Amino acid sequence: MKETEFVVKVGEKILTVKDISAYVCDEAYYTPEVSKKIDQLMKKFHDSTLLMQRVS
């Protein structure tokens, strides 16, 4: 596993999540637990309730 970043642009907004553990080959592959945390952050991001949050 390697520490990586998850970056997504939605409209004019950008969400960056740093220091996420992932299996990296040509792409990043996340464990189900990490994927669930990303999904929760994305929901807050879409609902505009996320300003800044530490995940670890």
Question: Is 37 among the domain residues?
Answer: yes
Please tell me the chain's helix, strand, coil percentages from 3-state DSSP, rounded to the nearest 5: 25, 40, 30
What is the residue-averaged pLDDT of the chain?
85
The number of domains in the chain is 1
Supply the pLDDT for residue 44. Answer: 85
Question: Is 21 among the domain residues?
Answer: yes
Task: Print the domain residue range for 7.
Answer: 2-46
- Distance from the Cα of residue 46 to its chain's centroid: 13
pLDDT over 90, % of the chain: 34
Q: Which residue has the higher pLDDT, 31 or 45?
A: 31
Question: Is 36 among the domain residues?
Answer: yes
In angstroms, the CA 34 to CA 21 distance is: 8
In angstroms, the CA 49 to CA 5 distance is: 21
In the predicted structure, residue 47 carries a pLDDT above the cut 80: yes
Question: Is 51 among the domain residues?
Answer: no
Question: Is 26 among the domain residues?
Answer: yes
Question: Is 56 among the domain residues?
Answer: no
